[in-house]
Structure 1
Amino acid sequence: MPAVTAFLEQLEGWILEMAASLWIYPAMFVSAFVDGFFPPIPSESVLVTLVISAQATGLPWLWLVVPVAAVGAWSGDQVAYLIGRRYGTERLAGMRSARGRKTVSWARRALARRGAAFIIAARYVPVGRVAVNMTAGALGYPQRRFMTFSGVAAVLWAGYSTLIGIAAAEVLGHDPLLAMVVGVVGGGLLGLIVDRVVQRFTPREEVLDEMREAAPVATAPESEPSELA
């Protein structure tokens, strides 16, 4: 834990040094984009720290950095989906470890039970979102539906991280780590609420039919997609 805290402090210092530069906007995009398929990149910390800086100094511009973060996050999620669709999860070194297999198994069950909720809620869990998005691609989760849900997830994530950053600046005493913990818990609840709304307008049978049509191009066993909705 001390090592994580030290890393976050170093990251904060670097971000705050760049906050007044125009380069911070492409840097935010790249951070959120790569974080979609390479979880060690802490895009939440970057965005929260930038929001804290904006509250304190007026830079960077929130009206620009927040949508840049959302577009980067959505784009990264699409890459994760396409990687899963093209290669599956078994061919990825990070997913073959005991922890990786456990995470993929969790993602598979999550998609089967609450597809919309977990695509949205997983955006707040660094390793979880990669596992969910790659598994969605590997098992043939409908791509248009995935793009829609991941778009909702990216917008909510960017907006929610902005609120957390504002709260951190005002209440949490400039503590991005604590803000991230609050964000994960609140994000999961937010995803479940959105899922309730989605279920009222999207019958499970419709998703099941789309999964069966997509199953031949998935790399997972054919019996798996029939469980997803």
Structure 2
Amino acid sequence: MDWTNPQAIGYPVLFGGVLLGSLVPLVPTGALVGAAAAIATSTDHLNLVLVLLLSTVGALVGDLATFAAGRGGAGLVSRWVTRRQTERRLNTARDQFTRRGWLLVVVGRLTPAGRIPVLLAAGALSYPWRRLLPAAVAACVLWAVAYAALGVLSGGLFDNPLVATLIAAVLVLVVTAVLALIGRHRERGQEVAAGERR
């Protein structure tokens, strides 16, 4: 492998970073995808189609492994998911996955800090693989395209790959922060509504 070639470094770092970040939510995977897309747009070092493909596959492998951990470690994960939950709430969660599981998987992938809890819960609640797989593929494709689009935007606006990469990373972090704030606001609204119903 020629380590002086940016492709030799870029593609493995992108795939490995997205995979690792999908398993352990410490790596900012959206920023990685956005930065790679910015580089692909502003230079000839990376190919945008390969960036999308590797991002999607890395995210999918990580998501399937997370789901499998919930499914295979059903005892431990199930205790974590079900602790302090009434049987009625668990039945409601199972019913939600039965009726709208694909939507929960897609929204969980696109929501900051939503993916791992959704996938672990789906595994612990025995959501079927045959339903999870197409939902996870669709979720990962949408996720990769969304974050790559931010990178393409910054790469198209700035000719300097370093500036485009930095702007892409900042855009991704801002979008992630805004989505997290919206999610918290919605959760608070739901908690207030639930308290008023009591």
Counterpart in the other structure of 1:168 = 154
Partner of 1:211: none
Contact 2:31 2:168 in 1 (8 A): no
Please give the secondary structure, in 2, of the residue aligned with 1:23.
Answer: helix
Give the length in aligned residue pairs: 159
In structure 2, C-alpha distance between the alignment counterparts of 1:19 and 1:146, rounded to whole Å: 38
Deviations 1:89-138, CA, capped at 9 Å, x for gaps: 8559xx69xxxx9xxx9xx5874773222211211234210111111111
Paired residue type of 2:172: A
SS at match of 1:135: helix
Counterpart of 1:154 in structure 2: which amino acid?
A: C
Q: Is the CA contact (8 Å cut-off) linking 1:124 and 1:157 kept in structure 2? A: yes
Q: Percent identity?
A: 28
The one-letter code of the counterpart of 1:148 is: P
Q: Does 2:171 align with 1:178?
A: yes
- Higher RCO, Cα 8 Å, sep 6+: 2
1:15 is aligned to none
CA drift at 1:25 = 1.1
The gaps in structure 1 that reach 5 residues or longer are: 1-17, 189-229
Match of 2:188 in 1: none
RMSD over aligned Cα atoms: 3.3
Does residue 72 of structure 2 align to residue 79 of structure 1? no
Structure 2 length as normaliser, TM-score? 0.67
1:9-48 deviation digits (Å, cap 9, x = unpaired)? xxxxxxxxx9823132122111222222211121111110
Aligned to 1:23: 9
Distance 1:113 1:171, change over 3 A: farther
**Bigger Rg, structure 1 or 2:** 2
Evaluate the alpha carbon distance shift between residue 73 and residue 89 of structure 1 in structure 2; reply closer, same or farther with a 3 A threshold.
farther
Contact kept? 1:123, 1:154, Cα under 8 Å: yes
Q: Match for residue 146 of structure 1?
A: 132
Aligned residue in 2 for 1:6: none
Question: What stretches of structure 2 of length at least 5 have no aligned partner?
Answer: 159-163, 183-198
